[in-house]
Amino acid sequence: MTNRPTTVTITGGGGQIGYALMFRIAAGDMLGPDVPVRLRLLEIPHGMRSAEGAALELQDCAFPLLREIEITDDPLTAFDGTHIAMLVGARPRSAGMERADLLAANAGIFGPQGAAIGAVADDDVRVVVVGNPANTNALIAAASAGPDVPVERFTALTRLDHNRAVGQLAETLQVGAGEIADVVIWGNHSATQFPDVSHAILPDGMPVLEALAERLGGRDAATAWLDDVFIPRVAKRGAEIIEVRGSSSVASAANAAIDHVRDEQLGTRRGMTSAAVVSHGEYGVPEGLVCSFPVISRGDGYEVVEGLDLDERARQRVAASVDELVAERDAVRALGVL
């Protein structure tokens, strides 16, 4: 029996992350080896030729799972009946642009896209926002979709931050990345985020904090490494990539978006992961903010893992990032968007 094709819409399909995403999705890396895919690429007129070129290359790969590629600059066509919407295209910050200008420019993109999703997407649509500022763009899209799409369907990507944290720990502990479970990213996809290892474990159940103390010469040395090296490195990794590469992360961002959707659709495998989801007040985060939390999925969307202990310092770090999300939400409200 052949599975029904899943329709996946990528906005910014002519851009860098779009290019890195579409070949892996068409190869089955996101939805599995048995699920045929219909790809829709949404672009603005300026990006259409680039998306068209990518589509030619997709055809030349002869992927058995790829059933159709459609390129459009019309959101209603792009999201018509879509099952998975990956909102990547965004207005980048340009020289001299204030944060409020950036939020306003992106509200002009994510508002209409959210409305189009509400109007024409599949009843069970899932949306992940990658384009920055990702959490607040997701908030805008969710608010614009209207009552037909539950807000839980809208998420923003912090899996890249999660994977970055795991990568740093794996290198320091000299273990495979797959051996580290239960790392958590809290807050905003920005330098205020809190990468938290206090619940993380290795396969034998050994807490990562203990393994770090063993490796680095005691608890105090481990705490100093976490505060002075690990947390700033992970939180500012996006800027580090921009400085070294000359442009922002692409393949790692696409990989994280694929991890995010795969786990949401097929279920998390070992322990918790991180995703920004709409708060229902968990851990005291104001309702309605799109905030990164510890999450699991049973194959039907992400749910927040509740009841984790946070010490006073951790609570302060989470609060600082949540304050930034509140400020972004208030700036968008002041524009009359929410």
- Binders of ligand NAD among residues 194 to 213 (CB under 6 A) are none
Quick one: which of 8, 12, 145, 325 contacts ligand NAD (CB under 6 A)? 12
- The nearer residue to ligand LMR, 187 or 238, going by C-beta atoms, is 238
Binding string, 105-144, against ligand LMR, x = CB under 6 A?
---------------------------x------------
| Burial of 144: CB neighbours in 10 Å, binned 0-12, 13-18, 19+ | buried
Question: Using CB under 6 A, which of the segments 42-50, 192-200, 212-220, 296-304 binds ligand NAD?
Answer: 42-50
The 147-186 contact track toward ligand LMR, x by CB under 6 A, reads -------------x--------------------------
From the list ligand NAD, ligand LMR, none, partner contacted by residue 241 (C-beta under 5 to 8 A by kind): ligand LMR
Kindly tell me which residue out of 179, 215, 248, 288 binds ligand LMR, with binding defined by CB under 6 A: 248
Rounded to 5 degrees, what are φ and ψ at 179? -85, -10
Q: 273 has which bridge partners?
A: 295
Q: Nearest approach, Cβ of 156 to ligand LMR (angstroms)?
A: 11
Spatial contact of 156 and 129, defined as CB atoms under 8 Å apart: yes
Q: 123-143 burial string, b = 16+ CB within 10 Å, else e?
A: eebbbbbbbbbbbbbbbbbbb
Alpha-carbon distance of 79 to 77, in angstroms, equals: 6
Using CA atoms, how far apart are residues 26 and 33, in angstroms rounded to an integer?
A: 10
Q: What is the separation, in whole angstroms, between the first and last Cα of the chain?
A: 45
User: How is residue 78 written in tokens?
Assistant: 């792009």
Question: Where on the chain is the footprint of ligand NAD (CB under 6 A)?
Answer: 11-12, 14-18, 42-44, 46-47, 88-90, 92, 109, 130-132, 134, 157, 160, 189, 248-250, 253
Question: Where on the chain is the footprint of ligand LMR (CB under 6 A)?
Answer: 132, 160, 238-239, 241, 248-249, 253
